Structure 1
């Protein structure tokens, strides 16, 4: 059996949505599901005393939030093995450590207690940048009949995202939509001041051919590895973040690398990934490159 799927729960409705998505992922992979709850001082409670299980009683919490989460997971995937992990510590720290022995980490887009502030990116951005496995943030309204959307950027670090997206499409038995967004800043790999859509380039045809070649080459090898996956390639001239957010409409999942070609050196999570985590219309999985 592969490494388990882990899901962070805190009793919120969003975390129950995450449990359901994590249970489906575990079932698809033939993996176990580990339900994780962290108790301690959260990122929004600086200066406050650490919470201790004796203050409120650990047993009611285990019987409550975790029992409900396990019940929902079994309803979605009755055949999967489920374990619980209740850990003292801040949610960010706990989930980062738990991710070291997981195939996928799943969290909701909103939370309570230790997972609060997720919509603003505190937990999601941290885990996407520092976690040791791909991170899925459950958000929006996924279309169960829609494709898996892959954000293609041609970066070396993005190769892991391509591999994950093909494998996910194969597991779900749905098409893969590979989207590569380009503009006149593509050659410079940096979105600086000015208008990338109207800027004049010396050889626009050559630039278009280069970007099409990048897209074709990115998916070529993985099409051979997953011949059962129907692949649509889409080359779009636009601003990158709005175009990918728009592509998430009607999708069941968007997959992106943690950093693309335009990332600044040393930045662990790029602006495109962060924009998707905040604004995509369906769940988003951010995949870090190989260590």
Structure 2
């Protein structure tokens, strides 16, 4: 057994849903699963044991041990035979999980944790980890789909190539079809070279769709040969990227996107489309901006 999948837990329902997904991911990869809880209180020098006036099973340390034990039991019940280890680490969740991502092939977190605020659809840890993680980050909602295709958002950028590799590998691991979706508008599509220099926009209306079809085909080049068992549907949609992917996520079991695309600005670690999908997609979202390990690519 090689490889490592890390899941962050905090005792929330979203965190337990993430444990189930992470356990299945670890089993499909034949990897170990590490259940991690970031324990901030020791760093704040707060008392960890039960109050002298409270029950003996009280106290922060006992609470943490109970929630981690529940997560480990859930993982073993979900994926029997998978190696499951656990760690309670002192520190802020984002810092702890970012450090874990340096040696993991995948980090899984819930969309909202115990620190979530009413009205926020995704927790700050999930968003920031997707932006700073050193490996792909999978953000899970409470009720992930169990069927449907893996949907891949394709933008043709160099940064998006890792997302393409990851999506094909995920589809193969899940024995699922892949929908490669590219959305474009006249604002984000590269303008084709004019046929007549005196008419700079001649034939642009016809040439744009053809260019976007070509962009999608080029982005997938070589991957279908590498994964011959993965059925691939290509979709080129004239419309806004985030709306097209959110709609496609309704019937998907996983949505895969890159951290930044063609419209990314220097200095931004997570693009606006990726952030929108983390907040509004109807299925788990994998943001791929870190490395892809050898066990994830055939």
Which category describes the TM-score, using the shorter chain as reference length? 0.7 to 0.9
- Residue matched to 2:54: none
Offset at 1:140? 6.1
CA distance in 2, matches of 1:109, 1:90: 17
- 1:161 and 1:289 in contact (8 A); partners too: no
> Any unmatched runs of 5+ in structure 2?
51-58, 192-200, 293-298
Q: How far is the alpha carbon of 1:228 from its aligned partner? A: 0.5
**In structure 1, distance between residues paired with 2:109 and 2:265:** 27
One of 158, 161, 171 as aligned partner of 1:159: 161
Structure 1, residues 135-167: CA drift from partner, whole Å, max 9, x if none?
A: 000026443220000000100000000000000
How far apart are residue 119 of structure 1 and its match? 3.4
| Equivalent residue, structure 2, for 1:104 | 106
Aligned mates of 2:286, 2:264 — CA distance in 1: 18
- Confirm whether residue 274 of structure 1 aligns to residue 275 of structure 2: yes
Structure 1 position 12 matched with structure 2 position 16: no
Structure 1 residues 121 and 65 mapped into 2: Cα distance closer, same or farther (>3 Å)?
Answer: closer
Partner SS for 1:54: coil
The match for 1:146 among 133, 142, 148 is 148
Residues matched between the structures, number: 272
- Mapping 1:1-291, distance limit 5 Å: 1-40=1-40, 50=44, 52=46, 54=48, 57=59, 59-113=61-115, 116=116, 119-139=121-141, 141-187=143-189, 203-288=204-289, 290=291
TM-score (norm 1): 0.88
What secondary structure, in the 3-state scheme, does the structure 2 residue paired with 1:184 have? coil
Q: Which has the larger radius of gyration?
A: 2
Deviation at 1:239, TM superposition (A): 1.1
State the distance in 1 between where 2:288 and 2:47 align: 34
Structure 1, 258-267 or 169-178: larger mean CA deviation? 258-267
Distance in structure 2 (CA, Å) of the matches to 1:290 and 1:74: 28
Question: Which aligned runs of 4 or more in structure 1 are off by greater than 4 angstroms?
Answer: 55-59
- SS of 2:146 mapped into structure 1: coil
Shift of 1:205: 1.2
- Render the CA deviation track for 1:161-200: whole Å, top value 9, x for unaligned: 00000000000001000000011012359xxxxxxxxxx9
Partner Cα separation in structure 2 for residue 90 and residue 215 of structure 1: 40
Question: Are residues 60 and 121 of structure 1, via their aligned partners in 2, closer, same or farther at CA, if it must alter by over 3 Å?
Answer: closer
